[in-house]
Structures are given as structure tokens and as C-alpha cells.
Amino acid sequence: MPDSQPRPPEGATADTTALLLRGARLADGRTVDVRIAGGHIEAVGTAGSLTAPGPRTSPVPRIELDGYLLLPAPAEPHAHSDTALTADAGPGPGPATTGAAPDIQRRAVEAALLQLGHGATALRSHVRIGDVQGLGAMEAVLQARRSLRGLTDLTTVAVPRLLTGVAGADGLAMLRDAVKMGATVVGGCPDLDPDPTGYAQAVLEVAAEHGCAVDLHTDGDDPARLARLAAMSGGLRPGVAIGPCGGLSRLPHDTAAHTAGRLAAAGITVICQPQGGCGGVERRGIAPVQLLRSAGVRIAAGSGALRDLTNPVGRGDPLEAAYLLSSQSGLRPKDAYGSVSSAPREAMGLPEVRVEAGFPAELLAVRGEQLSAALSLAYSRIVIHRGRVVARTNAVREYCDSTAPSTLELPRQGRADAGP
């Protein structure tokens, strides 16, 4: 079973930019070899047909992927690095400790490595700015981003508290400072401001000034407010995302469908949170994924809280989000997996990944023959980022022989995710 303390695998910093993956199953049923060089997929051929890349001084690593399904890696579009892993902080100094910059940086790294172990090689993290912490949490998460370089790509969303009225002037100045520091996305929670539309307007203006994407928290239960947002944000590049939008599920069907049509027309992505939500929105519930898809809205799924007070058992596993989209919202496994891989990559402005020559080598190998099986049981995973293996999880399950006198005898053994 996976270790609870994530660590990069040994040799993660070695020169392993060339790699040969052999005998991997693809989602379309083919079994192939995949040759990787320079962070990209160089060639894909029938199993046994490819050799290692060109002349090299050191042997090229090969990975036998017999029994593994090879997929484009997931991307995590909605994390909270500054509050992750605080649920078990317990009594003691409390916020004084969990809010200190070195602690935030340590937890941000640990959370990102946990999510990398699950397969997410890119991560968009919402970070609060303002109030007593000012820009301290943002600085700590940006420091974590630098220390994770080569392992995972972490981008930050600046989340100001108030942006209107007298207090809003400070928030606005701090938002601009956060963008200058390195936050690449402008976000926040408009519904918590006394003037939600004014808040959204301010966010869109700062984003337009700096060429940033926008990613806002909303429950989505106010159709008029969403319609105004759609009208204001149409055409903004590099794009607007909102989530988790569980409130859309509580609206009458026709109202929700009409609102979804407006979001689709404005090109707004909805980032739902099937695993339970986050601290940015009080109410829970999953967005009406089928209704939104029918209206043409792009849907991505994020994990939200990772073991903070909002969700002390949050796993941050994109495959769990995909599993829930399939089992709870009725998406086909292929579409559910797309919601945690291709859709978030597009929403995050990342290049598309396909297991084809020329595409970025951002890959996840999961033990299993089919996508449905991989979403059902996926303990064993190999994660590839920029053409290098950056995380590996091997699960082994052992069964006792019922006739054996001692539980120390363990004659049957197999992969935990291959079945008994």
C-alpha cells in the first residue's frame, strides 16, 4: 500500500530524459512501445518494434509495462496548497504554526507530492491573500513551486477576500502585487463580497490588465449573477473558470439549462468537485455534470480540500474524482477520465497530451487492462513528467491460505489491483 509520506523516487534528479516504455496497453486496446526523448513522445509503435533512442553514453532506462494501461497524465485544476494537510494539526500553537510561511511551504510540497503520486503532473492551487497573512502564504507556495520544479508544475491562483468598498482598495492593491510576485491566475470568492458583481468585475479587470486567467469560487445558485458574469467575461483570454457550482443542481431544470447555455456561450469552464468541496464555498453538492455537458459547457473536475478542516479525509486523487463522475454522475469512463486530464489541461492553458509522437510526455501508467478497471482499482501507478519517471507506487496484496495453521504462511500473492 502507498506510503503516507510522499517522497520523490531515488534517481529522480538523474539524467533520464530518454526512456523506452515497452508493452503498454492503450485505452483503445492496442499494445505498444513508446519512445520518449527530450520531454516529448518521440515514437509510438507496435509492441516490440521500438529500440532505445539514438547513441548515448549511458544506457536508456526501459520500463516493462506489461499489464499497465498508459494514459495522458491527470492535471489537478483545483487545489488549496496553503490549507492542505492542516486537519490533523491538533491542539497547540494552532494557526500561528499552520499559518507560518515555512509550514505552508512544507505542506504545499507534501500535498503536491501526494497528488503527483496519484498522477497529477500539473496543479493549480488557490492561495488566500490579504488579512493578517498578507502575501506570506503566496510567497510560501511560490517557493514550494520552485522546489518542485522538474517533479510537477504548480501554478497559483491569488484569492483576495474583499475587492469593493473601502476595504476593497487594499485587496485590489494586494491582488496586483500577488500577480507581480508570480500568481498566474486571478481568483476569489465573489459571493462573500458585499458586492459580488463588483468583485467579479474587479477580478476580470486585473486579469485583463495582466493577461491572466480567471478562476472564481461560486456555489452557482444565483442564475442572475452567473448571467452577469457570463456577459462580462465573454471573450476574455486566456479564459474563465468557475466552480464548484453545486448550487446549479438545486435550481429548477429549465433555469439551470438556460444558465448553462449562457456559460457555454461565454466559454466558461465549470470545475466541479465530486470529492466534497473546499473551504472557498460553504455549501456542498456536485454540479449537474450531464446538464452542463449537454449545454456545451466544458467540465473539469478538481479535488478541492486535501485533509483540511473542510474535508479532513480529502485524498486529492484525480482518479477518485473520475470514479465519482462515472459512478455518481453517470459519465462514461472515457469522459470521466477526460474531466481529470484533457479538460483541466485545456482550462489551465497547458498543451494537449495524447499518447502519440510529438506530444508532451506527461503520462500515467496504471495497473489494469481497461479504463473502467483502472478507475475501479488503481493502486499501482507510474507517473511520468517531462519524460522522466517522477513517482512510482507498487501495491502488493497477499491472501492467507485458509488451511494453513499460521497466518505467517502467505502462499498466494499478487498485485493488489490485479484481483485475487
The distance of closest approach from Cβ of residue 59 to Zn ion in the complex, given in angstroms and rounded to an integer, is: 45
| Count, residues near Zn ion per rule CB under 5 A | 2
Tell me which residue has cell 513551486: 145
Nearer to Zn ion, 303 or 326 (CB): 303
Cell of 143: 517557493
Nearest C-alpha neighbor of 128 from the set 94, 147, 156, 88: 156
The distance of closest approach from Cβ of residue 133 to Zn ion in the complex, given in angstroms and rounded to an integer, is: 17
Query: Please, which of residues 59-98 interact with Zn ion by CB under 5 A?
Result: none
The distance of closest approach from Cβ of residue 278 to Zn ion in the complex, given in angstroms and rounded to an integer, is: 3
Q: Is 188 in the site for Zn ion (CB under 5 A)?
A: no
Q: Which residues pair with 381 in a beta bridge?
A: 366, 393
The distance of closest approach from Cβ of residue 272 to Zn ion in the complex, given in angstroms and rounded to an integer, is: 11
Nearer to Zn ion, 40 or 284 (CB): 284
Nearer to Zn ion, 83 or 326 (CB): 83
The distance of closest approach from Cβ of residue 95 to Zn ion in the complex, given in angstroms and rounded to an integer, is: 19
Nearer to Zn ion, 32 or 245 (CB): 245
Nearer to Zn ion, 44 or 278 (CB): 278
Site string for Zn ion, 254-293 (x = CB under 5 A): ------------------------x-x-------------
Nearer to Zn ion, 114 or 278 (CB): 278
The distance of closest approach from Cβ of residue 82 to Zn ion in the complex, given in angstroms and rounded to an integer, is: 11
Q: Is 300 in the site for Zn ion (CB under 5 A)?
A: no
Q: Is 216 in the site for Zn ion (CB under 5 A)?
A: no
Contacts with Zn ion by CB under 5 A lie at: 278, 280
